């Protein structure tokens, strides 16, 4: 594909979605396994998580500028699901990582590809296995974040907490840098309950959603600064983009790359980092216990999905398929 003009554009036609879909989702075992990771599952009985993610992404960024980063073992299953749910062919929308190396290499790989397509590319990085309600609030947060990304900020979407959650990392926000976007003072690890309560009372703290927005060039510059080994490997791949040697170069470089998250490798060290707070309903569905954020409990505080009969059960997760299951407490 021919690279676009370097002339700066203000209509966000340079906005691209990158969906990270290489994870295994092992915390949802036994439902999720290596051959059927969490993003390929239907958690709430409707679309699979990746189908819902793509549908949501394409409501903001068109299909032609939406890319999936995943491994060779998952690409075909994802392609079949997306072809079925969207009615279009996704063959050319994949960026294949030879092996899972966490989010920093995956995002870096996507960034070098997008920079070849469009030197001004702004990436909206989405996990493939989250559940988000309030599509309009999602879109609003993305558009506000994209405006800050045009100014070379690395932007993360922060979720306004409605309870003292201990299963998420937190972002401590600073001053307003533009409408709807604040600077980031620091990232906080998953807190103890009393600390999470303090965050909620203090205000200015947000859950780290793992949704990021930045210019491809900006994140590559930060990778170069803070993860020089990764940057060197990415440049080995970059030189082969557009040639018949791309697959060979990618396969040669990837085993040498350090497995690291973009949070630890870049965001916690970079200076120009911002948060766009959002009140959208969001869950990373990180474990079975997170289902109470997705499925409504019954009067006995049971989370239930599937063809089942429940007798005298309380505070239980009852999850099955079409086969009838009876559970007695």
Per mean pLDDT, which of 92-96, 294-298, 311-315 is the most reliable?
Answer: 92-96
What is the bridge-based pairing of β-strands 15-20 and 122-127? Answer: parallel
- C-alpha 20/C-alpha 69 separation (Å) is 5
Which CATH superfamily, name and number, covers 15-292? Spore Coat Polysaccharide Biosynthesis Protein SpsA; Chain A (3.90.550.10)
Mean residue pLDDT of the chain comes to: 87
Strand 66-70 and strand 170-178: the pairing is: unpaired
d(C-alpha 316, C-alpha 325), whole Å: 14
Is 10's pLDDT higher than 60?
A: no
Instruction: Categorize the per-residue pLDDT at 7 as very low, low, confident or very high, splitting at 50, 70 and 90.
Output: very low
- 132-161 pLDDT, tens digit per residue, is 988 899 999 999 999 999 999 999 999 999
Domains of the chain, residue spans: 15-292, 296-328
Q: How far apart are CA 70 and CA 80, in angstroms?
A: 14
């Amino acid at each position: 594909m021919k690279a676009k003009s370097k002339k700066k554009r203000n209509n966000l036609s340079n906005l691209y979605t990158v969906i990270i879909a290489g994870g295994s989702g092992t915390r949802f075992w036994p439902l999720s396994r290596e051959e059927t990771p969490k993003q390929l599952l239907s958690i709430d009985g409707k679309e699979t998580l990746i189908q819902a993610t793509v549908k949501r992404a394409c409501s903001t960024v068109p299909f032609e500028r939406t890319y999936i980063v995943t491994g060779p073992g998952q690409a075909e299953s994802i392609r079949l699901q997306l072809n079925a749910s969207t009615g279009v062919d996704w063959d050319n929308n994949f960026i294949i990582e030879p092996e899972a190396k966490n989010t920093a290499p995956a995002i870096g790989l996507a960034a070098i590809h997008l920079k070849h397509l469009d030197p001004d590319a702004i990436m909206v990085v989405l996990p493939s296995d989250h559940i988000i309600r309030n599509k309009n609030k999602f879109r609003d947060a993305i558009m506000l974040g994209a405006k800050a990304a045009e100014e070379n900020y690395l932007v993360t979407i922060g979720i306004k907490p409605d309870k003292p959650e201990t299963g998420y990392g937190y972002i401590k926000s600073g001053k307003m840098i533009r409408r709807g976007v604040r600077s980031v003072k620091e990232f906080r690890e998953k807190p103890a309950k009393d600390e999470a309560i303090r965050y909620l009372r203090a205000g200015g703290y947000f859950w780290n959603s793992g949704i990021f927005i930045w210019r491809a060039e900006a994140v590559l510059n930060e990778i170069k600064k803070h993860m020089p080994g990764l940057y060197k490997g990415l440049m080995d791949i970059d030189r082969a983009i557009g040639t018949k040697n791309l697959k060979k170069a990618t396969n040669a470089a990837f085993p040498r790359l350090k497995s690291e998250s973009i949070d630890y490798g870049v965001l916690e060290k970079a200076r120009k980092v911002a948060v766009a707070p959002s009140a959208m309903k969001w869950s990373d569905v990180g474990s079975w216990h997170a289902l109470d954020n997705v499925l409504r409990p019954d009067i006995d505080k049971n989370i239930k999905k599937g063809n089942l009969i429940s007798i005298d059960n309380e505070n239980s997760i009852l999850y099955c398929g079409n086969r009838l299951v009876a559970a007695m407490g």
